[in-house]
Structure 1
């Protein structure tokens, strides 16, 4: 019986050694290191188009402000962030010719000529709410109505100021506006 015990005593340490040797090899395999390189590129912004919705008509000195509603069309394939929308008074032009339409005075101007006395100073613009949002792909409308505008961001307004001076030169004119999103 002594011989049987001796074989078992040798077999157990040999088995333990074999297990430790295999786990050491596996441990060395899993702790290896290495490095590599990778690249990623970004896209670019895509210009959006802005169009006025509806018209502003029949402004008279001191009349109520009218909304300047507009739609921003995001033509990119992903949403794009807009911080602000700004309405700028560009110019005032005559709708039709006065007199023979051959001169540049208020009494004889051609259609489309810049107004002689009426200026952008005769009009007041209230700027739209700051946007500060990602605009989805496609058209997004901004109005003065909380029920129809995008994310409760209201459009701007325009009104004719009632000044103390004669504003007859503002009759039959067009106030040209520029709407810019940034």
Structure 2
């Protein structure tokens, strides 16, 4: 029994000594400051908006007659937010039909364009509409009968 009591004393004393040594241990370190450089690369250019137009609705175009409405969608195919400041729609200036009495872009008016302007998130779209009218000119417009008027959409 005395052996057990002496053994317990040694365990308690050893534990106390180890705790005192470990508890009083000091840790040293160096302090330092520094600088560094890094970089990130922005896209080299914005990604052009894309347009998809729908079939025109409304009565058939005729000199001074009804308007047609063309619905369209503008999409931001880029990877970041892009600003849609304006949308312009025109009749393709290079287009004409007929030779003697040509039907040209000058036979039509386009507008107003209605679209929500502002920031468009990556992959998002906004919808818009535009009106197309055939003007009543002082010349024969027979070559404009039955034509499909080519529209050009542009965004800024």
Under TM normalisation by the shorter chain, which class is it?
0.5 to 0.7
Instruction: Point out where structure 2 has 5 or more consecutive residues left out of the alignment.
Output: 1-30
**Structure 1 match to 2:135:** 161
What are the residue-to-residue correspondences of 1:65-84 with 2, within 5 Å?
65-84=67-86
- Alpha-carbon distance in structure 2 between the residues aligned to 1:36 and 1:138: 36
Q: CA deviation at 1:42?
A: 0.7
Change beyond 3 A, Cα 1:88–1:160: same
**Structure 1 match to 2:26:** none
**Structure 1 match to 2:40:** 40
**Structure 1 match to 2:121:** 136
Is the contact between residue 53 and residue 70 of structure 2 (CA under 8 Å) also seen in structure 1? yes
Instruction: Point out where structure 1 has 5 or more consecutive residues left out of the alignment.
Output: 1-28, 95-103, 107-115, 144-154
What are the residue-to-residue correspondences of 1:51-70 with 2, within 5 Å?
51-55=52-56, 58-70=60-72
Q: CA deviation at 1:64?
A: 2.8
Pairing partner for 2:147 from 159, 167, 173? 173
RMSD between superposed Cα atoms in Å:
2.9
How many pairs are equivalent?
Answer: 125
Q: Secondary structure at the match of 1:58?
A: coil
- Alpha-carbon distance in structure 1 between the residues aligned to 2:114 and 2:146: 30
**Structure 2 match to 1:117:** 102
TM-score, normalising length: structure 2: 0.64
Is the contact between residue 115 and residue 127 of structure 2 (CA under 8 Å) also seen in structure 1? no
Q: Which is strand-richer, 1 or 2?
A: 2
- Which has the larger Rg? 2
TM-score, normalising length: structure 1: 0.56
**Structure 2 match to 1:149:** none
